[in-house]
Chains A and B, each alone.
Chain A
Amino acid sequence: MSGSHGNVGGLSRAGIGAQVLVTAVLALTALLLVNWLVARPGLRHRFDLTSASSNTLSTATLGVLERLESDIQVDILYRDMNAPLTALGQEVIVRADKLLVLMEEAAGGRLAIQVVDTADQEAWTLRQQELRLRGYENGLIVSSGERREFLALSGDLAVFDMGNPVPETYIPPRIQQFDAERAIVGAILDVTEGAERHVYFTYGFGELDALDAVENSGLGLLSEELEGDGLRVHRWNFLEDGPLPDDCAAVAVIGPQVGWPEDMYAEVVEYVEAGGRLLVAAETVPELLRKSDVPDLLAHFGLEVSEGRVMHPLLDRRTGIVVQGQQECEVHVVTGDLMSRHPILSALRGAGGSFSVPIAHRVQVGVQPPDGVAQALLRSSPESWLDAPPCDRRYDAQLDGTFKSFPLAATVQRPPMVDVEAPKGLEAVPEVRIVALGSEAMLTNAALQNPTFRSADVLRAAFNWLLDREHRITVPPRDPDLRFLPRERPESAVLVIRVAQYYLPLAALLASLLVWLRRTRGSQRVALKTSRLEESDG
């Protein structure tokens, strides 16, 4: 009974309010602290429940992401694909998105994802221009600063099997392989590697000038295109500049007209043999070409360049018959069917585009490399003929042979031909890549300025392929883990829809009626009885 007994109520309302506020703030602080703590990498555990482990990144990927030093942005470009790939395309992009989210988590803020709003036509066009994309391509753009790489949805991210569209033997299209993780990691490595990439154009022996943007024969416009892709273009002359610098990513030899000094030739060969990248374009004039080192250089890597040039006759417009003795045409329009299945041309082929190659020598594969691939890149039309030197542009059946399709460019891709140090860690695997073009003219300002030629895209693609590096990361392709209702049994979908739409709500309705009946019936009976009782009581 003392005064100290139970005097809890000494607090005013304000006091109680303050007390509640303080405890709430304390609890909030504790909550945030706990949340921060459990999000620390050491304490955080993720358990992937999916059967295909589609939410677990490979260790190689995690390694790359943890070591990221520059910020990466990934743009997602997606529009619904045409039937029958609509659903599959969606699936691929959703999966790629999931992977990107995982990568974003693992990259610790270095990786940002942006979905380009393809419904917003203006923004979409703008973004395409920024990315120098043509057409509506679905895929991802992995960029770091000015350097970017495009990963096509069909091809890079996933390989589709189109199945069989014939109704009798219908096989639905499917995702053959889901490769997004490997593709994205490779692209990240590509765009983050080193600082800038340098292309050295040989100069001083009759080559076209890489920095001349004025003259028709200059390469200035090409250089500008390449700079736009994040490449630095230099002129290189062995006599003046000494050996090729270490940062050399590729050497371009565009139409030399005289022979190089011997050590310069040796320098170039040595560079390429050790896993270098080379783009060669032959001089137009056969005599000059013969004087230059280009035929020897190509022969060294198994390619042959003709002295004569490939021409194709003008056809009689009415009859379609070759009109002999007339002025011949040296501009080859390369359409889809004349392009080979090569990564350089795949995008263009896919978009149904074409381009023109003016004044070209034949470049064909002489010797297949034993451990690599040499292949023709593009061909002339089947009505072409090879004009023997000195290229009088007149068809002479005895000299010039028969009409047929001639290869106008070729590529070589093979391991280094000399022993080089094995790559360490995430370094790229050294590889020899050569693009040999039969025409120097297609690289000139004149060709790039000509809107009907449209050769800039091909040249950019060629340089990008040259500079692309194979990374020795072992990211296994993913199990597509597709789960679809059996298409051959449409009744299965009908069953599912019936259950979801009718049976389940109906079952709930029945259950509710049952409960209602059970709850009311027993009660009412008793209520009747007792109300009678009540009456008698009253």
Chain B
Amino acid sequence: MIGTLVVARRELSGLFMAPFTWIVLLVVLFINGLLFSSFIYQTQGNVTASLSESMTGPSFWLWMIFLPALLSMRLVAEESRSGTLEYLLTAPVSDAAVVVGKFLAATGFLALLWSSTLIYAVTLDYAGGPPDWSAVIGTWFGTILVSGLFVAIGMLASTLTSTPLLAAFLSMVSCLMWLAIPFLASSVMAYLVPLLTSTAAEQAALVGRMGSVVASMDALRHFSRSFQMGVLDTAEIIFFLTWISFFLFLTARSIEARRWRG
């Protein structure tokens, strides 16, 4: 536990010492700022809608594809290449502590990034349009969980190769895939279902059943049905936490496999 925190602290401070991170931070803040201004303008000053669009709109999901990939590339693949991963993996901390520490650092960075919306909210409050604070913070909490999930996916993809660019690409593709599960599944189903069933009723039943399975994996849906609306739902929180743990577990196993692969 202490090891995890030590690693997390170093990774996070290391992130803020690298120009790369600041460039990412600046780009995201600048674009988000532009978008937020346009939301304010479009909605004629609707506080709730602007904040919600800024925190949960398409731009958020677009960032979710790129940022975790870049971060995990930095935290795993680049370190693996420069050898500092070897240093960490021979230090008296467990693999799990290293993985979780890096995960916490990346997620913490994203959490900090998303808290820029909280600054927008403070400004709105000051400017005379008080936001619904508890709901806004609930949504912010949700964005952190989503970031965590995507960082975990990105880290898993990043451990599979020590070429940073390839790792970033792999992470991006896996994050995109995770987001695109519903679309992929529906296209696959459209192709497969007629082969598996004969009657229309069977088809409908199969589509329905598979649809519910797919929906249970759909992060977008889980997010939009709870945090995005300003609801804390135990089932949704556990959905994100369990998937994060699962991917971190796989990441730790993948790093352990390096000890065998060499």
Contacts and interface: CB of A to CB of B under 8 A. Distances in A.
Interface string A52-90: 101100000000000000000000000000000011001
A55 B132 contact: no
Interface stretch (B44-52, B60-68, B70-78, B178-186): B44-52
Contact of B128 (A43, A51, A492): A492
Contacts of A44: 233-235
A81 to B, nearest CB: 13
Interface string A464-487: 000000000000000001111111
B2 to A, nearest CB: 25
Contact of A515 (B17, B26, B41, B243): B17
A384 to B, nearest CB: 47
A485 B45 contact: yes
**Chain A interface SS verdict (over half):** helix
Contacts of A497: 36-37, 40-41
B240 to A, nearest CB: 10
Interface in B241-262: 242-243, 245-246, 249-250, 253, 257, 260-261
A91 interface: yes
Interface in A12-33: 13, 16, 20, 23-24, 27-28, 31
A133 interface: no
B238 interface: yes
Nearest to B54: A500
Among B16, B32, B41, B132, the one with the most A-chain Cβ atoms within 10 Å of its Cβ is B132
A49 interface: yes
Given A55-B231, A485-B40, A515-B17, A105 B129 contact: no
Contacts of A241: none
A13 B33 contact: no
Contacts of B245: 31
A45 B120 CA distance: 30
B132 A51 contact: yes
A3 B32 CA distance: 63
A172 to B, nearest CB: 9
Nearest to B36: A500
Given A31-B246, A35-B238, A51 B134 contact: yes
Interface string A493-525: 101110111101100110110011001000000
Given A23-B253, A38-B238, A512-B22, A504 B33 contact: yes
Contacts of B234: 38, 43-46
Contact of A16 (B225, B233, B260): B260
B87 interface: no
A34 interface: yes
Nearest to B126: A495
A493 B229 contact: no
B233 A505 contact: no
A49 B231 contact: yes
Contact of A500 (B120, B226, B232): B120
Interface string A401-435: 00000000000000000000000000000000000
Contacts of B40: 485, 493, 496-497, 500
B3 interface: no
A484 B49 CA distance: 9
B46 A24 contact: no
B131 interface: yes
A50 interface: yes
A496 B125 CA distance: 10
Contacts of B239: 35, 38
B26 A505 contact: yes
Contacts of A48: 230-231
Contacts of B119: 499, 504
Interface in A86-123: 86-87, 90-91, 94, 98, 101, 105
A39 B230 CA distance: 18
Contact of B232 (A23, A49, A481, A499): A49
B242 A31 contact: yes
A38 B233 CA distance: 10
Nearest to A483: B47
A489 B126 CA distance: 13
Interface in B140-157: none
Contacts of B85: none
A90 B45 CA distance: 13
B57 interface: no
**Chain B interface SS verdict (over half):** helix
B46 to A, nearest CB: 6
A87 B127 contact: no
Contacts of B160: none
A43 B235 CA distance: 8
A170 interface: no
Given A39-B235, A501-B34, A101 B123 contact: no
Contacts of A484: 44-47, 129
A13 B260 contact: yes
B46 A91 contact: yes
Interface string B17-32: 1010010011001101
A53 to B, nearest CB: 10
A148 B93 CA distance: 64
B138 interface: yes
A527 B232 CA distance: 53
Contacts of A98: 229
A35 B138 CA distance: 21
B33 A505 contact: yes
B173 to A, nearest CB: 20
B137 interface: yes
A504 B113 CA distance: 11
B197 interface: no
B116 interface: yes
Given A50-B135, A51-B134, A496-B123, A489 B231 contact: no
A493 B127 contact: yes
A55 B33 CA distance: 28
B124 interface: yes
Among A486, A500, A509, the one with the most B-chain Cβ atoms within 10 Å of its Cβ is A500
Nearest to A20: B253
Contacts of A45: 233-234
A27 B235 contact: no
A484 B25 CA distance: 29
A49 B225 contact: no
A105 B225 contact: yes
B236 to A, nearest CB: 9
A51 B135 contact: yes
Contact of A24 (B19, B225, B235, B250): B250
B130 interface: yes
B59 interface: no
B84 interface: no
Contacts of B233: 44-47
14 contacts: A13-B261, A27-B250, A31-B242, A49-B134, A50-B132, A50-B135, A105-B225, A483-B47, A485-B124, A486-B128, A493-B127, A497-B41, A500-B120, A516-B19
Q: Which 9 A-B residue pairings sit nearest by Cβ, starting from the closest? A: A485-B45, A492-B127, A512-B22, A483-B47, A485-B129, A500-B33, A49-B138, A49-B134, A497-B37
Given A38-B239, A51-B134, A483-B131, 9 more contacts: A13-B261, A44-B235, A86-B44, A91-B46, A484-B129, A492-B128, A496-B120, A499-B119, A512-B26
